[in-house]
Amino acid sequence: MTNKLFPVSLSYMFRYKGPLPFDVFIERHPGKFTRIHRQHEMYDPEQLSHFEVKGGELFVDEGQLPEFNSFLSSLLEQSLVSSEKLESSEATEIMALGLDLTFQAIINQTDVLNDNLKNANLYVKSCLNLLSQDSSNGIDIYLAIAQDASLLKHSFHVMLLSLAIAQKSGYTTEKVLAPIGVGAFLHDIGHSRIDQDILLKQRLTPKEWDIIKDHPHLGLKMIDHFEGLSHEVRSIILQHHEYCNGRGYPNRLTQTQIFPPARLVAVADVFSSLTMKTHYRSVFYSPRDAINIMKTDLGHFDPLYLDSLQQVFVKPKKKIAS
């Protein structure tokens, strides 16, 4: 085989109605693969179960990952409109893999960029669906996708935080929430166009800091040709480092000039950075301490969204009865 193979778990695929849009392989011997299912044919559940039960991995050709990602999004879409719902653990596993594939495809500027934007929208809607069922599902989703301190992990984290803040701030409709989720998911996409050596440095020169501060423009340029990309998503990508007091970047906007969804994601972005261990900060804070730090930065953050964040993470202390 000329293409690389991508390991997958298809334990949830038996809910899929229709022929699989990709080939499936097994590794019979180290480096020797055999196709056990042909693309666009109906699958044999017993055959695939047999290989997984025996402990063998299943593989998809990397050249067919767009088809595989479409398959994942179709599973979630079926679940959203069908009476036969996916278990939350199944939906979480699908979203974790699908968001990963979508994020990498957008970074790599594949030929199916608009399809990947649609997938991102669908995964955000599925996330909202799980959060509406039980807010603790958000923790399960985060744990499933937060395996390292990568850009991908941070993007997932900010997406979940932004949705939680938005809901606590009174936003209830999918029409409002979905663009916030997608914008948060893509907010730092411009980092993928910056030299990783610079991103990994703990101390930056003024010139290097100027390069970092250009990532909102780089991110907007990457997705500018997406069809149907909302103004909210574009504003989040460009403005998520603007501060209400005018001391942010790249355009030093003030509160009334910053689009509200961007002010919201700015809160989630900084909170995520403060509460995660990263390559440039070995010290990280508890949610309560992180919020207190953010509150000392007077004028930086929109107080509405900062208060909503506090309501999500910091429970009020119980009064002692006299």
In a domain, 80, yes or no: no
Decide if 206 is inside a domain.
yes
Range of the domain at 196: 156-322
Tell me the range of 41-55, 57-71, 115-129, 266-280 where mean pLDDT is highest.
57-71
pLDDT for residue 1: 47
Check if the beta carbon of residue 26 is closer than 8 Å to that of residue 12.
no
Lowest mean pLDDT among 125-129, 177-181, 295-299: 125-129
Number of structural domains in the chain: 1
Q: Could you tell me the maximum CA-CA distance found in the chain, to the nearest angstrom?
A: 76
Q: Please check whether residue 16 lies inside any domain of the structure.
A: no
- Whether 22 is in a domain gets the answer no
pLDDT digits (tens, 9 = 90+) for 157-181: 898 889 989 989 999 898 999 999 9
Q: Is residue 211 part of a domain?
A: yes
pLDDT band at 92; cut points 50, 70, 90: confident
- DSSP state at residue 99: H
User: Tell me, what's the pLDDT at 119?
Assistant: 79
In a domain, 318, yes or no: yes
Question: Which whole number is the average pLDDT over 136-146?
Answer: 57
User: N- to C-terminal Cα distance for the chain?
Assistant: 76
Element (H, E) at 5: strand 5-8
User: Is there a domain that residue 39 lies in?
Assistant: no
Q: Residue 37's pLDDT is what?
A: 86
Which helix (H) or strand (E) segment is 177 a member of? Answer: helix 174-186
Tokens 């979203």 correspond to 95
Q: Is the omega angle on the peptide bond into residue 250 within 30 degrees of 0, that is, cis?
A: yes
Mean pLDDT of 281-301: 86
* Cα–chain center distance at 149: 13
Answer whether residue 119 is part of any domain: no
Considering the entire predicted model, what is its pTM? 0.76
Which whole-number Å values give the CA distances from 107 to 61, 104, 115, 236, 241, in the listed order? 20, 5, 14, 17, 20
CATH number, position 197: 1.10.3210.10
**What's the confidence (pLDDT) of residue 258?**
97
